[in-house]
Structure 1
Amino acid sequence: MDASTSLLIFQITCCIGLSLWLSISLINNLHAFVSSAGAIGATMSMAPLAQPPAISFPLLGRAMTSPSLHRLALAIIVLIQAAAVLTAWVGCYELVLGAGLEASLPWLNLALSAALGFLLAMLLGGIWFGYWIRQEGLQLTHLLLMVWILLHFVVLNVRWS
């Protein structure tokens, strides 16, 4: 096996893995929409800061307790996730069965952009609502997922010789 074939196998593995991860994430949010909206609501209402010992700081005025806003926030995330899933699978098709890497890159880059977009939305929303104080694991997860998406971009777009 030559290096270009082994690189293509690695790229295909990345694409399929990314597409599956995006798909499962979307399915989870659709299947457990109410629970996911509740989790978003906990962050947006800044509820973890009220848990003992309660933390009082000036940013608490940003808290949003409306379940309708929590559902709207999740609905926006779900729509972006759906776009990411669709474009990722089109990119996989082009890479594996279609015209190859060059034809798949616009689709895969669009999927990566959508994924980066919904992760940035979660990261920025979290930082707005002070999740670094009591939900630092969630913040680290969002940051790590962003690094993962950026690494996918490098693997797919850098021309390896």
Structure 2
Amino acid sequence: MDTHTSLMIFQAVHALGFSLWLSIALINNLHTFAGSAGAVGATMAMVPLRQAPPIETPMLARALTSPALHRLALALIVALQGIAVLAAWTGCYFLLLGAGPEAARPWLNLASSAALAFLFAMLLGGLWFGYWIRQEGLQLTHLVLVVWVLLGFVILNVRWM
């Protein structure tokens, strides 16, 4: 096997894995929208900071308790996930069955951009609502996902040959 073929296989595996991950994340949020909105709402209402022992911080004034705002925030995430899923699968089609990597790259880059947008929305929202204080595992997950998306962008765009 030559280097070009092995690189194409690696890029295809990454693109397919990323597309599947995005799809499952979207399906989960659509299937359990109310539960996901509740989780988003708990962060936006800063519920973890009020649990025993409560953490008194001036940031508590930022808390948003409106379920409508919680659903709106999740709807934004879901919309970005939908864009990412459609773009990722279009990129996979071009990469594997269509015109090849040059035609696939813009679609896969769009998918990565949409994924990065929803991840930054979660990171920045979490930072605003103080989630690093009691939800550090969630913050670390979001940070690792950002690194994954950035590395995927490099994998799909750096010319190795």
Q: Same fold (TM over 0.5)?
A: yes
In structure 2, the residue matched to 1:68 is 68
Aligned 1:96-111 pairs, distance under 5 A? 96-111=96-111
Q: TM-score, normalised by structure 1?
A: 0.99
Distance 1:12 1:106 in 2: 15
Structure 1 counterpart of 2:3: 3
Q: Over aligned residues, Cα RMSD in angstroms?
A: 0.4
Q: What is the SS of the residue equivalent to 1:54?
A: coil
**Identity across matched positions, percent:** 71
The C-alpha deviation readout for 1:103-149, integer Å capped at 9, x for no partner, is 00000000000000000000000000000000000000000000000
Rounded Cα–Cα distance in structure 2 between residues aligned with 1:50 and 1:113? 35
Distance in 2 (CA, whole Å) between partners of 1:57 and 1:21 is 36
1:92 maps to 92
SS at match of 2:52: coil
Residue 121 of structure 1 is matched in structure 2 by 121
Gaps of 5+ in 2: none
Displacement, 1:84? Answer: 0.3
**Residue 7 of structure 1: CA displacement?**
0.5
The one-letter code of the counterpart of 2:117 is G
Distance 2:104 2:8 in 1: 12
CA drift at 1:33:
0.2
Equivalent positions of 1:3-152 (< 5 A) are 3-152=3-152
After TM superposition, which residue ranges in structure 1, 4 or more long, deviate above 2 angstroms? none
Partner letter of residue 62 of structure 2? R
Q: How far apart in 2 are the matches of 1:100 and 1:120?
A: 30
> Matches of 1:72 and 1:10 in 2, distance apart?
37
